[in-house]
């Protein structure tokens, strides 16, 4: 398996534009996570899906952020409209539900909003 695949790797956009980040989890995994990492706040869990259903979105910063998982092999994180403070590295991770399993992370998308 190629692991968790995120695209794009880098994104530069202007303030006010819509940004869509994409994630393909590892085949067979049924839980998916979106994290955001900044110097100030570290790694923050934004949202967590299980079997394509959002279970916990308490980490989503505000209504400008939305995430979907239309099927088991694809998820998106959308920011509309984007702001400079959204600049960060966004990671996607996936795992197989269970007490004794590990999560695997993608290489991240570095977002810069100017």
Partner 1 sequence: DAKTTQPTSMDCAEGRAANLPCNHSTISGNEYVYWYRQIHSQGPQYIIHGLKNNETNEMASLIITEDRKSSTLILPHATLRDTAVYYCIVRVGNTDKLIFGTGTRLQVFP
Per CB under 8 A, residues contacting partner 1 are: 4, 31, 33, 35, 42-45, 48, 50, 55-56, 89, 91, 93, 95, 97-108, 110
Contact yes or no for 72/95 (Cβ under 8 A): no
Nearer to partner 1, 44 or 81 (CB): 44
- For the bound state, the minimum distance from the C-beta of residue 17 to partner 1, rounded and expressed in Å, comes to 23
- For the chain, how many residues are written? 114
Nearer to partner 1, 45 or 81 (CB): 45
- For the bound state, the minimum distance from the C-beta of residue 91 to partner 1, rounded and expressed in Å, comes to 5
Structure token digits, residue 99:
């007490």
In this structure, what are the phi and psi dihedrals at residue 85, rounded to the nearest 5 degrees? -70, -5
Contact yes or no for 90/34 (Cβ under 8 A): yes
């Amino acid at each position: 398996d190629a692991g968790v695949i995120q695209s794009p790797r880098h994104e530069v956009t202007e303030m006010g534009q819509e940004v869509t980040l994409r994630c393909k989890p590892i085949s067979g995994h049924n839980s998916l996570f979106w994290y955001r990492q900044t110097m100030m706040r570290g790694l923050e869990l934004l949202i967590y899906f299980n079997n394509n259903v959002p279970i916990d979105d308490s980490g989503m910063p505000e209504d400008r952020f939305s995430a979907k998982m239309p099927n088991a092999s694809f998820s998106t994180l959308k920011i509309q409209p984007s702001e400079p403070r959204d600049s960060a590295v966004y990671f996607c991770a996936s795992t197989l539900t269970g007490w004794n399993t590990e999560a695997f992370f993608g290489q991240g998308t570095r977002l810069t909003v100017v």
